[in-house]
Amino acid sequence: MTKSKETTFADLFAGIGGFHAAFHNLGAQCKFVSEWDESARKTYRHNYESKSPLVFGSQQLEKHRFVGDITKVDSKSRNMPKVDILCAGFPCQPFSQAGQKLGLEEARGTLFFDILRILIDKKPAAFFLENVRGLLNHVSPGGIQTMDVIRNQLSEAGYYFSEHLVKASDYGVPQNRPRVFIIGFRTKLHFNRFKAPPPVELSTSLSEILGGQTGKKIGYTLRVGGAGSGVSDRRNWDTYIVNGEAKKIGPAEGLKMQGFPSWFSFPDDVSRSQAMKQLGNSVAVPAVEAYAREILRAMGREANGVGSQQR
């Protein structure tokens, strides 16, 4: 098997780097990052500048490899490097309960086609896409099944792929967070080798994270909307009854609920509200890592990083 230190990946719609943390834990190297939000970019650079020499190794590299607007990136240019795996948690609002559910007819929805453009131009060996579960059943106002469009486009781009409905709580963290993972490969051999990882037991309890007893085994889904809406509100995601009293969680608890490694932190100039928004937009690292490990295995790559149990 090829060691995964030779495996490279791109991190599109990167947020604060949940995909990056997962692949870093397995020993893979990030080679290209795209994130437009300036506050999220601060958090990303703060955590990965010293860990990603292929992105931040020089001013020239960073200019071309830590970019903002993906729509302005020329995927045919040498400035955008080839990678083994393309990762993208593309914008979910067009498909979620929080948005207007316009899907690919909304501007943010069309960003999927930037992913497609890069897949066609750079032809990575594999891809790992993430979105809300609403994507699977989404129908546009025009009556178009969004997933049918996505499936057809990915197939025409030359990929074999599968879709997986994944809960973060099935991979060690006490947070529900149901998400759709779309895993694809350019070769049928790799696709046939890929197997979804089995669920694992919770590695930490909600009570341990919150520092007291709570009646919930698994926490609410961290999300951008609903902050401060109250413990009895169905939109709530940041308030729990702990030892009989309401407790509003902060970034430290949020990082643990998303399974980020212990070395991950927010810069001092990123506000609490910005940090919580960034956490709500992120992926659950252990769930992504479990699937990333299986992607590497299917490709014949050896995961040689520290792994989630040693972070």
Domain boundaries, the chain: 2-203+282-310
Question: From CA 131, how far away is CA 251, in angstroms rounded?
Answer: 22
Per-residue pLDDT, 3: 47
Average pLDDT, the chain: 89
Per-residue pLDDT, 286: 98
Angle at the Cα of 125 from the Cα atoms of 307 and 14, rounded to 5 degrees: 60
Q: Catalytic residue at 30?
A: no
pLDDT in tens, 120-140: 999 999 999 999 888 888 777
Per-residue pLDDT, 169: 97
Greatest alpha-carbon pair distance for the chain in Å reads 58
Classify 101 in phi/psi space as left (phi over 0), alpha (psi -120 to 50) or beta.
left
Tokens of 165: 């409905």
Per-residue pLDDT, 307: 61
SS (H, E, C) the chain: CEEHHHCEEEEECCCCCHHHHHHHHCCCEEEEEECCCHHHHHHHHHHHCCCCHHHHCCHHHHHHHEECCHHHCCCCCCCCCCCCEEEECCCCHHHCCCCCCCHHHCCCHHHHHHHHHHHHHHCCCEEEEEEEHHHHHCECCCCCEHHHHHHHHHHHCCCEEEEEEEEHHHECCCECCEEEEEEEECCHHHHHHCCCCCCECCCCCHHHHHCCCCCCCCECCCCCCCCCCCCCCCCCCCEEEECCEEEECCHHHHHHHCCCCCCCCCCCCCCHHHHHHHHHCCCCHHHHHHHHHHHHHHCCEECCCCCHHHC
Per-residue pLDDT, 97: 47
Per-residue pLDDT, 207: 96
Per-residue pLDDT, 311: 40
**Closest listed residue to residue 126, CA positions, set 167, 160, 85, 161:** 85
CATH number of 2-203+282-310: 3.40.50.150
Per-residue pLDDT, 235: 82
Which parts of the chain register pLDDT below 50?
A: 2-5, 95-99, 101, 103, 107-108, 309-311
Per-residue pLDDT, 308: 52
Pairing assessment for the beta strands 85-88 and 239-242 based on DSSP bridges: unpaired
Per-residue pLDDT, 289: 98
Query: Which of 92, 102, 150, 206 is labelled catalytic?
Result: 92
Per-residue pLDDT, 58: 94
